Structures are given as C-alpha cells and as structure tokens.
C-alpha cells in the first residue's frame, strides 16, 4: 500500500526557514514524479512544486520561486521541501503527493495527510 507521511511543520517567525520531509513507502519511489501542494486554512488547494523521478528537473509556483527548494533522496525514499524567507501568507497545510502513474503525467493519485506550517511572530 502506498504511504506518504509528511513531517517538519511548525511555528516559525516571518523571514525564517523550515524543512519539510515526506517519507514514502509501498512503492518504488525512484520511479515517480513527486509534488508539494499547500492549503491555507479555509482556502483552496495551491500547487507548490514538482520534482521528476531522478531529480533532474524541478518546477515551482511563481509565489514560491526563489524561496522554496524541492529535493529528493531516492536511496532513502524521502522527499523534501526547504522553505526560506517565510511570510505570513505561506501559512498552510503542506501535502506531499505522488503522480498516479510513472508512465505519464495524469494527476496526483496519492497524498499524505499533510503538515501544518504557521508563519507568525
């Protein structure tokens, strides 16, 4: 069974940094593109970032470009999101998610339960 578990969220001051982790199990992690999606309290889903299977390519939403960095360790089945220069509007639940298929891009078929990041002084 596919399992994704996020960790690393918490309370951080504006301008601070945080590193989110996502532990993956139940599938061949190195085959799949992975994503981070966030959701501010009471708001909709916002795509944040994506990394391809061998970490050779990444993309970011404009709102986080230059501040957030996605990475992965295929040997450890781990996905990461480094959050720098955090702002109040980065406050959200951050979900890691796996592509439905490793053969083609078809949507996010598996999600973790999310980790809450709160940016406040």
Partner 1 sequence: DIQMTQSPSTLYASVGDGVAITCRASHSISNWLAWYQQKPGKAPKLLIYKASNLGSGVPSRFSGSGSGTEFTLTISSLQPDDFATYYCQQYNSYSFGQGTTVEIK
Q: How far is the CB of 56 from partner 1 (least distance, A)?
A: 18
Give me the least distance between CB of 95 and partner 1, in Å please: 6
Closest to partner 1 by CB, 11 vs 105, is: 105
The smaller minimum CB distance to partner 1, of residues 44 and 66, is found at 44
Contacts of 18 (CB under 8 A, 6+ apart): 8, 9, 10, 12, 82, 83, 86, 117
CB of 121 to partner 1, least distance (A): 27
Closest by CA to 92, choosing from 6, 33, 24, is: 6
| DSSP of 20-64 | EEEEEESS-GGGS-EEEEEE-TTS-EEEEEEE-TTSS-EEE-TTT
Specify the residue, 16 or 69, whose C-beta has the smaller distance to partner 1.
69
Site residues (vs partner 1, CB under 8 A):
35, 37, 44-47, 50, 59, 61-62, 95, 100, 105-109, 111-114
Nearer to partner 1, 7 or 13 (CB): 7
């Amino acid at each position: 069974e596919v399992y994704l578990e996020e960790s690393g969220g918490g309370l951080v001051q504006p301008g601070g940094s945080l590193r989110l982790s996502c532990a993956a199990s139940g599938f061949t992690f190195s085959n799949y593109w992975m994503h981070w999606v966030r959701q501010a309290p009471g708001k909709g889903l916002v795509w944040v970032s994506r990394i391809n299977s061998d970490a050779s390519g990444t993309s970011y939403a404009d709102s986080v470009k230059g501040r957030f960095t996605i990475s992965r360790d295929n040997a450890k089945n781990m996905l990461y999101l480094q959050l720098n220069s955090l702002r109040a509007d980065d406050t959200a639940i951050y979900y890691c998610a796996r592509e439905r298929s490793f053969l083609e891009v078809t949507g996010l078929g598996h999600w973790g339960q999310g980790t809450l990041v709160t940016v406040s002084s």
